[in-house]
């Protein structure tokens, strides 16, 4: 499987942290609860969220009473995660600099490793070897993606505009297949994929913010203006009561380190 590790996965998100934190979709509660139950996670569990970005998934698992360490190589994204205040009654996740290929964590120190909307940026085999190294025997590897559900016409229209950006297909095509490698990896057992419905309701500013939070969104002024105008046309066609809903299928891939 082709990965995107040669596309500067650390540097390309510089300048996007605030928009990423504000406009990226979350993950459905049903998927999170399924992961917690299937992987047997609880207050004594340690989950390592690799490529955690601004901490969207990190905080969601911390809110479920799990000890979470977020690993993020981009300094700006990691600072955004550190400065985002979660629920006061929940211990804040710990964040540290590191990469999927070199987390800097000890052997067998995690009950679960998570990569949410991130694994496609990793060098696949080195990352899988690193995850296996830091997982305890029987620990779980969890890969999660939100992928647009373009059977929905509004979402399809939005996707058409996004794919008009030259770099979009280079990122989206391998991303959509990235989790399949876990299903056949000899490093893990009991692998499976589990889909969940998800959606994000946005006003016009939110729709533009969501699109421009992508690493491939145009930044040159004329191209950015054309991109924004096309997105505004999508919003005008599909909005009801001032909002649109972008539909996603959330894919959860799970596999276990041999006991």
Q: Using one digit for the tens of pLDDT, what is the confidence trace for 114-130?
A: 999 999 999 999 999 99
Average the pLDDT over 149-157 and give the result. 97
> Exposed, middle or buried, 138 (CB in 10 Å: 0-12/13-18/19+)?
middle
pLDDT score for 1? 44
pLDDT score for 9? 67
How far apart are the C-alpha atoms of 217 and 196, rounded to whole Å? 26
**Which has the higher per-residue pLDDT, 84 or 258?**
258
With pLDDT > 70 as the criterion, what percentage of the chain qualifies?
A: 96
Average pLDDT value for the chain: 93
17 pLDDT above the threshold of 90: no
Topology given in CATH for the domain delimited by 11-145+168-195+250-256: Rossmann fold (3.40.50)
pLDDT grade for 177, boundaries at 50, 70 and 90: confident
pLDDT score for 4? 67
pLDDT score for 194? 98
R_g of the chain computed on alpha carbons: 18
2 pLDDT above the threshold of 60: no
Look up the pTM and report it.
0.93
CA proximity to 224, closest of 239, 236, 214: 214
pLDDT grade for 176, boundaries at 50, 70 and 90: confident
Average the pLDDT over 223-230 and give the result. 97
CA proximity to 45, closest of 61, 56, 32, 28: 61
Domain range list for the chain = 11-145+168-195+250-256
Average the pLDDT over 197-216 and give the result. 96
Average the pLDDT over 127-145 and give the result. 98
pLDDT score for 6? 62
Position of tokens 């996007």? 16
pLDDT score for 15? 85
For 38-66, the pLDDT digits (tens) are: 999 999 999 999 999 999 999 999 999 99
pLDDT score for 22? 94
172 pLDDT above the threshold of 80: no
Render 65-116 in DSSP notation, one character per residue.
T-EEEEE-S-HHHHHHHHH----TTSPPPEEE---SS---PPTT-EEEEEEE
pLDDT score for 88? 77
């Amino acid at each position: 499987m082709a990965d995107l590790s040669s596309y500067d996965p650390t540097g390309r998100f510089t300048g996007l942290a605030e928009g990423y934190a504000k406009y990226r979709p979350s993950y459905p509660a049903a998927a999170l609860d399924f992961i917690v139950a299937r992987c047997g996670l609880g207050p004594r569990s340690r989950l390592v969220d690799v490529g955690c970005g601004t901490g969207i998934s990190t905080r969601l698992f911390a809110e479920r009473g799990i000890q979470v360490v977020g690993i993020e190589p981009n300094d700006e994204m990691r600072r955004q995660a550190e400065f985002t205040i979660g629920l006061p009654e929940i211990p804040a996740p710990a964040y540290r600099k590191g990469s999927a290929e070199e987390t800097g964590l000890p052997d067998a120190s995690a009950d679960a490793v998570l990569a949410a909307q991130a694994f496609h940026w990793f060098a696949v085999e080195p990352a899988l070897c690193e995850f296996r190294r830091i997982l305890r025997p029987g620990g779980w590897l969890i890969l999660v993606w939100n992928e647009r559900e373009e059977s929905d016409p509004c979402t399809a229209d939005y996707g058409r505009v996004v794919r008009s950006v030259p770099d979009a297909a280079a990122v989206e095509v391998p991303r959509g297949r990235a989790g399949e490698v876990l299903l056949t990896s000899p490093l893990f057992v009991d692998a499976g994929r589990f889909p969940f419905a998800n959606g994000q309701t946005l006003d016009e500013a939110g729709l533009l913010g969501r699109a421009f939070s992508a690493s491939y969104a145009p930044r040159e002024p004329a191209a950015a203006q054309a991109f924004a105008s096309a997105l505004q046309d999508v919003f005008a066609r599909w909005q009801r009561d001032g909002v649109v809903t972008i539909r996603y299928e959330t894919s959860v891939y799970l596999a276990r380190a041999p006991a």
